[in-house]
Copies of this chain bind each other. A is one copy, B any other.
Amino acid sequence: MTVGTPISASPEQLATVSYNADGLVTAIIQQEGTGDVLMMGWMNEQTLRETLESGRTVFWSRSRQARWRKGDTSGDRQWVRAAYYDCDGDTLLFVVDQEGAGACHTGEHTCFYRSFGPAPEATSPDDQ
């Protein structure tokens, strides 16, 4: 059974995080190993702390104005393997082990399953 690996962030690291007017920060979720970008979500200070302490991603739903722990409904939990913050502290990056089918509520592995362009082949990196 996979369990969460807590990350002990220092007060200085946590103080570097810059929240917007709504008290939120963007969080990019990336699959460990493949590097696939799975989704983007929002966290507030509380759900960021819970994510780091529990080793599972927890977000803030802007539409529902509620805490939202990934996988509680779908079963597709995200186990945090590493957590980064960017140069100006307003975006976070979590490398995770995605459980189950994937990160997207549509059943796709990644929320970014659609590309701009005339056909999927035409925008594949392999074609360049």
Chain A contact residues, CB within 8 Å of chain B: 5, 7-10, 13-14, 16, 26, 28, 30, 32-37, 39-40, 52, 81-88, 91, 93, 95, 104-106, 108, 111-118, 123-125, 128
Least CB separation from A88: chain B residue = B111
Asked whether B125 lies within 8 Å of A82 as measured between CB atoms, the reply is yes
Asked whether B26 lies within 8 Å of A30 as measured between CB atoms, the reply is no
Chain B neighbourhood of A10, CB < 8 A? 118
Asked whether A87 lies within 8 Å of B113 as measured between CB atoms, the reply is yes
Asked whether B118 lies within 8 Å of A104 as measured between CB atoms, the reply is no
- The 27 listed contacts between A and B (C-beta, < 8 Å) are A7-B117, A8-B117, A13-B117, A16-B114, A28-B40, A30-B37, A35-B35, A35-B36, A39-B86, A39-B91, A40-B86, A52-B116, A82-B123, A83-B115, A83-B116, A84-B112, A84-B116, A85-B112, A85-B114, A87-B104, A87-B105, A87-B106, A87-B108, A87-B111, A87-B113, A91-B111, A95-B125
